[in-house]
Amino acid sequence: MAKSATDVGVQQSPHQRGDRELTYAEALVEAIAELMKEDPDFLIIGSYVLGLGPMRALFDEVRHEYPKRVLDPPTAEIGFTGFGVGAAMNGLHVLVDLSTASFIFEAFPQVVNEAANASYMSGGRLAVPIVFHFLHGLRGGGAAQHSHSPQAMLWNTPGLQIMMPSSPADVRGMLPTAIKSGNPTVFVDHSKLMPVRGYVPALPKEIPLGVADIKRSGRDVTVVATSYSVQQSLSACKTLASEGIDTELVDPRTVVPLDRQTILESVAKTGRLVVVDETHRSCGIASEIAAIASEEILDALKVPIIRVTVPDVPVPFSPVLESELDTTPERIAAAVRYQMTRKQINRL
């Protein structure tokens, strides 16, 4: 199922293959520009796709080239999101950008009670090709009202696909898939991902829904992480490697649909699981992945599962308090070390 990024083109370096080194923001804008060019029915409502950082200027080119198909709406989330849903019901392929993830709460009825239900209520007669895009999570000083990670609440809503890229190559390959999927899709970005650099194929291919990526293969412990916490986990893996712990990092990339097989195969191999995620601890993304693993392969687990998540408190402003809650590489590494040293489950 899953292809390891490290398996692709084993013989050639990224340079030899003609891959380009791009920032996440550049890769995202390239994907949007391509969709704009190829698909005259592609419409964007909202134009803060890249957030508040200096990279936001990259999007201006798209905005200026397609003024009729990049609409700057009023600050009226429930209204413009509903416009997106209606336009998608009438044949357009729409990306509604809510900018900061917390603003999706202003649009919740249109997302969870209209778009998500529409196909089902029609008995399968209606498709709603719409993407809800936002930047989630701890961004540095966002405080309680600008730091949400609503993807877990949205996972609790049947009828929404959920995609969470974590690298330039992934966002480049996943956004076109989201738009072309023909279904309401929540596309989760993170402002801390925007400056992340990585190789993007010269001829990018669409990355299908429900295909996980093994970001690092290893023998000892499986770490499953999503979105920016994949980057945090990669840095933890490096530290751990220098200590002789060989971590496998699985990035589901989409949670609806979820590539269970890749996760379960990895856990079967290592017998140890750490799930990392920036949603809050209770009923979060990590909770569901942990539940699936314990339902499906409890037998293979040498130690109980650990979750590294944001505790169940609103996000505080102070940098000291914000980083206390963060899923830092240090917290991830500590969890992995604990999995290696704790007492194994006694199965008699």
Ligand X SMILES: Cc1ncc(C[n+]2csc(CCOP(=O)(O)OP(=O)(O)O)c2C)c(N)n1
Bridge-based pairing state of the strands 254-256 and 247-251:
unpaired
Q: At its nearest, how many Å lie between another protein and the CB of residue 179?
A: 24
DSSP string, 135-191: EES--SS-TGGG---THHHHHTSTT-EEE---SHHHHHHHHHHHHHT-S-EEEEEEG
Q: Does 244 bind another protein (CB under 8 A)?
A: no
Task: Pick one of 8, 33, 36, 78: the residue that binds another protein (CB under 8 A).
Answer: 78
Q: Which two tokens stand for residue 279?
A: 């949603």
Nearer to ligand X, 39 or 106 (CB): 106
Beta carbon of residue 140, minimum distance to ligand X (angstroms, whole number) = 16
Q: Which does 313 bind (CB under 5 to 8 A by kind): another protein, ligand X, none?
A: another protein
Active-site hit among 133, 146, 148, 190: 146
What residues contact residue 343 under an 8 Å CB cut-off, 6+ apart?
303
Q: Is the peptide bond before 257 cis (omega within 30 degrees of 0)?
A: yes
Cα distance between residue 183 and residue 329, in whole Å:
35
Nearer to ligand X, 26 or 97 (CB): 97
Q: Does residue 282 belong to the site contacting another protein (CB under 8 A)?
A: no
| Least Å from the CB of residue 343 to ligand X | 49
Report the distance separating Cα 95 and Cα 176, nearest Å: 11
Q: Using CB under 8 A, which of 18, 140, 158, 195 touches another protein?
A: 140
3-state secondary structure at position 72? coil
- Cβ closest to ligand X, residue 148 vs residue 190: 148
Q: Choosing among another protein, ligand X, none, which partner's interface includes residue 4 (Cβ < 5 to 8 Å by kind)?
A: none
Which partner in ligand X, another protein, none is near 121 (CB below 5 to 8 A by kind)?
Answer: none
Handedness of CA 295, 297, 302, 306 (dihedral sign): negative
Element (H, E) at 133: strand 130-136
Measured from the CB atom, the residue of 77 and 259 that comes closer to ligand X is: 77
Which of helix, strand or coil describes residue 313? Answer: coil
Kindly state the helix (H) or strand (E) to which residue 97 belongs, with its residue range. strand 93-100
Q: Based on the residue annotation, tell me whether 190 is a catalytic residue of this protein.
A: no
DSSP letter (8 states) at residue 54: G
Q: Is 146 in the site for another protein (CB under 8 A)?
A: yes
Which of 23, 102, 167, 226 touches another protein by CB under 8 A? 102
Identity at 314, one-letter amino acid code:
P
Judged by beta carbon, residue 75 or residue 242, the one nearer ligand X is 75
- Using CB under 8 A, pick the residue from 268, 316, 328, 334 that binds another protein: 316
Q: Do 221 and 269 form a contact (C-beta atoms < 8 A)? A: no
Contact predicate 302/345, CB 8 Å: yes
Q: Does 126 bind another protein (CB under 8 A)?
A: no
- Give helix then strand counts, H and E, for the chain: 12, 15
143 makes contact with another protein (CB under 8 A): yes
Residues 34-53 that bind another protein (CB under 8 A): 47, 52
316 binds, among another protein, ligand X, none (CB under 5 to 8 A by kind): another protein
- Picked from ligand X, another protein, none, the partner binding residue 239 (CB below 5 to 8 A depending on kind) is none
Nearer to ligand X by C-beta: 29 or 107? 107
Report the interface residues with ligand X, using CB under 6 A.
Answer: 75, 77, 103, 106
- Which sequence positions are flagged as catalytic? 146
